[in-house]
Amino acid sequence: MDGLLRVWFEDHGRDLPWRHTRDPYAILVSEVMLQQTQVERVVPRWRAWLGRWPTVDALAAAQTGDVIREWQGLGYNRRAVNLQRAARVVADSGWPERLDALPGVGPYTAAALANFAWGEDVLPVDTNVRRILERTGGDLPPDLTQALFDLGATVCLARVPRCDRCPLAGTCPSRGRHYAPARRQSPFAGSFRERRARLLRAVAEQPIALASADREAAESLARDGLVVIAASGVSLPT
């Protein structure tokens, strides 16, 4: 099984820019951006981010408001704040032995950093990897993580897997199966999430008077560290 996947990956693997570095900071930026955001959207934003803040020290020293502005359009803006908080920890104390001690870094991201930056023998299990392991019953090694990512993203799809294209189909016990759609998130239009996003976009342009702001959305954003509420109005943090 391992050999078949390796051969497939040589021919079909995606050429993504963060796969050409061992810099833990650059890898952390990619992993945080890729959380719930499509790869195609992340590639140019990752390059732009590293062009502006090429090192962990540069991001740590940045104005938080500028970090939030740069993140606009990627969604889930709290990720940007946590990314900078993590950068400040590293700039101050170095990379911790337990990577999941960093703000916003959970078990998956910690495993991805350990594998891709330091070559540790640990398998980062995201949704795609978990799906393949469950369907195949396989026990695949950590050095095939990128191949598993690509197989899950392009072939072993959630609802209708493309088994005719899969290098593991010959021994896969789930070959030919289709799956019920995953539970969808509630619509964005008209939601509280949309209200938060609308207010944050406006504040990113210029501070807003408190009287004209969506107070509930502002308080929610403030709890996440994305805005500051003062008597003068709502603004981005400095």
pLDDT in tens, 4-44: 999 999 999 999 999 999 999 999 999 999 998 999 999 99
Model pLDDT, residue 21: 97
Please give the Cα distance from 154 to 156 (Å, whole number).
Answer: 6
CATH number, domain with residue 74? 1.10.340.30
Say whether both 219 and 119 belong to one domain: no
Confidence label for 186 from pLDDT (cuts 50, 70 and 90): confident
- Catalytic site includes residue 120: no
Model pLDDT, residue 141: 93
Say whether both 127 and 214 belong to one domain: no
Say whether both 149 and 217 belong to one domain: no
Please give the Cα distance from 178 to 161 (Å, whole number).
Answer: 7
Q: What does residue 235 show for φ and ψ, rounded to 5 degrees? A: -145, 165
Q: 145-154 and 107-118 are packed helices; what angle lies between their axes, rounded to 10 degrees?
A: 120
For residue 80, with 0-12 CB atoms within 10 Å meaning exposed, 13-18 middle and 19 or more buried, which class applies?
A: buried
Model pLDDT, residue 179: 86
Say whether both 56 and 127 belong to one domain: yes
Say whether both 135 and 213 belong to one domain: no
Q: Looking only at Cα atoms, what is the longest distance across the chain?
A: 66
Model pLDDT, residue 75: 87
pLDDT in tens, 95-125: 999 999 999 999 999 999 999 999 999 999 9
Say whether both 37 and 135 belong to one domain: yes
- Average pLDDT on 172-185 reads 83
Say whether both 155 and 197 belong to one domain: no
Which member of 31, 120, 134, 216 is catalytic? 31
Global confidence as pTM: 0.90
Q: Domain of 203?
A: 192-235
Say whether both 71 and 160 belong to one domain: yes
Say whether both 88 and 199 belong to one domain: no
Q: What is the DSSP letter of 208?
A: B
Query: Residue 184 pLDDT more than 90?
Result: no
> What total of structural domains would you count in the chain?
2
